[in-house]
Structures are given as structure tokens and as C-alpha cells.
Structure 1
């Protein structure tokens, strides 16, 4: 029996959101240049989604893990807010490290994840 798509996305989203909260609480420290929790969830989520997409499972797995879990686990909005917050406080180097560093790491994670997914 297959579950309805909204339910699959919702269950995956719940798992992803809880996972993001746990990682963020465990890793993020005040006033760091690059918020480690946000950085880690975005890099890991980029890798997992790329591996999943490249392996092309489709259907329920894509909805549960890709749209649901990865969608809720990763957080572009927190990345954007953290970068602008650093700019607003005059921490230009920290903003640049967060912006460029996160983007570069996520793109690298996608490339590696894609390779892994194709190998599966």
C-alpha cells in the first residue's frame, strides 16, 4: 500500500525538521563567522538530495526523502539571514565566508553526491 503524496512529504518533512533542529542545537555557537549547524545541514542535505536524484528512485522515495526530509532538513532562509545579519553588524569577512563558503561547499557536496548516486 502506498501512502498519499502529501503524507509522504509530511512524514519526511517532520523527520528532516527534527534532524535540523538537533544538528543546529548541537553545533551552532554564538557569534561564529559561519553558523556550523546551518552549514552542516545544508552541505549534508545537498549531498543526500544529489545522490538521491542521480540514483533516480522516483516515486515514494523521492517524495519522502527528497522533497520531505531534505526539504525540511536544509535551510536556505537561515543561511540568507545569517549572512545578512553579519553584513548588518559590519562583519564583512564573516558574511563573505558564510556566503561563499557555504555555496562552494554545497556545490561540492552536490557534485560528490551526484557521483555517488550514479554509482548506486
Structure 2
């Protein structure tokens, strides 16, 4: 049952990642990977909230592992940073890593704090 919940969450998260990435990149005329940053920060926010609530294994599998796991993407962050470096866009590459780590940790902390505050 757990594997099915993870698959359902992933089936929702992966297309959302793709659609969000395409929408964000269409709005920015920049080599900076705005779409990947957006999905990683949003996924970190949601995962922080899931970690803060007394979520059972069902919610954790569906939302945490499945949805957030498919929505966020460390491999794409790594690839895009490497691509930027190879293209000579070293500033964008460094900004991508720093913004992703700082914003991701900040979003996870914020999601955790908000969920704790709303959950009493």
C-alpha cells in the first residue's frame, strides 16, 4: 500500500514540476533556472510543514516521499549548475547553488514553523 501511495504522489508531483518549470522559464529571459528553484523551494516549504504536523505514515508516503520527492529535484539543480558553469555563466551557477540551498532551508523552516503555529 505504501508503494502505491508514493506512486500516486509522484504521479502528481512530477508533471507539476515540469509544468511549473516551463511556466517559470517562459516568463524569464535568463539562463538562470527559475523553474527548478521555484519547485525546490515550494517542495521544501511543503515538506517542512509535513514534518511539523503529526502526520502518519500514509500522509508522509503520499505527500512527503511521493509528491515532494517528485516535485523537487536535486539532480536537475546539479545538472543546471554544471551547464551554467560550462557555458561560462559562473555567476548564475554560483547564485543557483546559493539561492537553492538558502531558500530551500529557509522555506523548510518556514513551512515547519507555520504548520506548528497552525497546529497549536
Fold conserved between structures, TM > 0.5: yes
- Paired residue for 2:5, among 4, 8, 11? 8
- Paired residue for 2:85, among 74, 84, 87? 87
Gaps of 5+ in 1: none
Preserved contact between residue 33 and residue 95 of structure 1 (Cα < 8 Å): no
1:50-86 CA distance string (max 9 Å, x none): 1001113122111100000000000111111111111
Number of matched residues? 117
2:54 corresponding residue in structure 1: 56
1:10-41 CA distance string (max 9 Å, x none): 00000000111110111114872431110100
- Paired residue for 1:97, among 95, 105, 115? 95
Dislocated runs of 4+, deviation >4 Å:
none
What RMSD over aligned residues (CA atoms) do the two structures have, in Å?
A: 1.4
Q: How does 1:1-120 map to 2 (within 5 A)?
A: 4-29=1-26, 32-119=30-117, 120=119
Preserved contact between residue 54 and residue 118 of structure 1 (Cα < 8 Å): yes
The alignment's TM-score, normalised by the length of structure 1, stands at: 0.91
Where 1:28 maps in the other structure, the secondary structure is: helix
